[in-house]
């Protein structure tokens, strides 16, 4: 009988694989396929927060929607299949088509009213002005 030393981390890989499968199945069950692994950049300056989000394949502005709730930016939409091929005609399908959703926690509170969005060359750019907090406001003193 061979004895091997106890390694508590050996089990973690199988647990992680199982958990990943459960989470991916849950995403697919809600209609948001986990295959859409898009890239996002978030940066800020003194006046605004900017998000660059790679979404290749959008055809019109009706295919994508943007919502801001406090400091949470949510982008969702649909990328339409550009071919009319049947499944049995495809030999390889790596480009994503279907519904997608991404929620991004922003580093600062933003003003939804001043937000602009542009889509160019497969990249959605969202510019959101920061909520300015005036901390240097003089306080008027009432003398009686």
How high is the pLDDT of residue 75? Answer: 95
Asked if the structure places residue 18 within a domain, the reply is no
How high is the pLDDT of residue 53? Answer: 95
Residue that is written with structure tokens 């994508």 in the block: 64
How far is it, in rounded angstroms, from Cα 77 to Cα 100? 6
How high is the pLDDT of residue 26? Answer: 55
Residue that is written with structure tokens 């801001």 in the block: 68
Asked if the structure places residue 73 within a domain, the reply is yes
**Per-residue exposure over 30-49, b if at least 16 CB sit within 10 Å of its own CB, e if not:** eebbeebeeeeeeeeeeebb
From first to last of its 144 residues, what are the pLDDT tens digits of the chain?
666 676 666 667 667 666 766 765 555 444 444 457 789 999 999 999 999 999 998 889 999 999 999 899 999 999 887 777 777 887 777 777 889 999 999 999 999 999 999 999 999 999 999 998 766 777 788 887
Domains contained in the chain, number: 1
For residue 27, the SS3 value is: helix
Asked if the structure places residue 15 within a domain, the reply is no
How high is the pLDDT of residue 30? Answer: 46
Domain CATH code at residue 119: 2.60.40.790
- pTM score, two decimals? 0.66
Domain that holds residue 54: 36-84+94-129
How high is the pLDDT of residue 32? Answer: 45
> What is the sign of the dihedral through the CA atoms of 8, 14, 19 and 24?
positive
CB atoms within 10 A of CB 122: 12
Asked if the structure places residue 49 within a domain, the reply is yes
């Amino acid at each position: 009988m061979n004895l091997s030393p106890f390694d508590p981390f050996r089990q973690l890989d199988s647990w992680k694989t199982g958990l990943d499968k459960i989470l991916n199945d849950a995403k697919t069950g809600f209609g948001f396929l986990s295959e859409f692994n898009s890239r996002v950049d978030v940066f800020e300056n003194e006046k605004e927060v900017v998000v660059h989000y790679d979404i290749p394949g959008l055809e019109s502005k009706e295919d994508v929607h943007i919502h801001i709730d406090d400091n949470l930016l949510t982008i969702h939409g649909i990328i339409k299949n550009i071919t009319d091929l049947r499944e049995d005609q495809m030999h390889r399908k790596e480009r994503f088509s279907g519904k997608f959703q991404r929620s991004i926690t922003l580093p600062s509170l933003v003003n939804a009213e001043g937000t602009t969005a542009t889509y160019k060359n497969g990249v959605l750019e969202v510019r959101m002005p920061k909520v300015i907090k005036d901390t240097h406001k003089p306080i008027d003193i009432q003398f009686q």
